[in-house]
Amino acid sequence: MVDASFHLISAALRSAAAALHVSNPNPRVGCLLTNAEGMLLGQGHTQRTGGPHAEVMALRDAVAQGHSVQGATAYVTLEPCSHHGRTGPCCDALIAAGIKKVVATNLDPNLLVAGQGFALLRAAGVELLDVNPPALLDEGQMREVVEWLANTPMNPATKNGAPVANKRTLEIAFEH
């Protein structure tokens, strides 16, 4: 049986697609906010570099529609960022808005985040449901991925010049 989280994350992924050709070099991220009854309160996707991220856009959309997000659930296609760059941390915005639960599909492999967003949300009492696809790997498959990354001399995947995956990043993903 497929639960509502699957459908809402799928909708967040469709929202993320709207950032195609817009958000580079930032990742395409989508975010949906729902109340306890599952009613959609707001949605958003990552904007142009230097602009708001998906979570902030979803919060703004909810407010523009006259909805309170206190106690809401955020469905996000990537771990909310936790560092100051061109924008403030998305996890701080979610905490300040009173979001009660975050359902996220992926640990952010950017070494500036890499689990820190989840840690800050947990520390603030936000319930987390991490539906990280690597969590679907069995231990043997996970070891193969970690081994491959550890022995790859140069990972071409970067975000803003920072490597986005390394052995420790994946280990963090599998600790939860």
Beta strand residue intervals within the chain, DSSP E: 30-34, 40-45, 73-76, 101-104, 127-130, 158-159, 162-163
Strand partners, 40: 34
Active site residue 171: no
Task: Please classify residue 139 by burial: count the beta carbons closer than 10 Å to its beta carbon, then call 0-12 exposed, 13-18 middle and 19+ buried.
Answer: exposed
* Active-site hit among 55, 127, 139, 175: 55
Q: Are strands 101-104 and 40-45 parallel, antiparallel or unpaired?
A: unpaired
Whether residue 25 has a cis bond before it, omega within 30° of 0: yes
**Which has the closest alpha carbon to 64: 39, 82, 44?**
44
Q: Enumerate the active-site residues.
A: 55
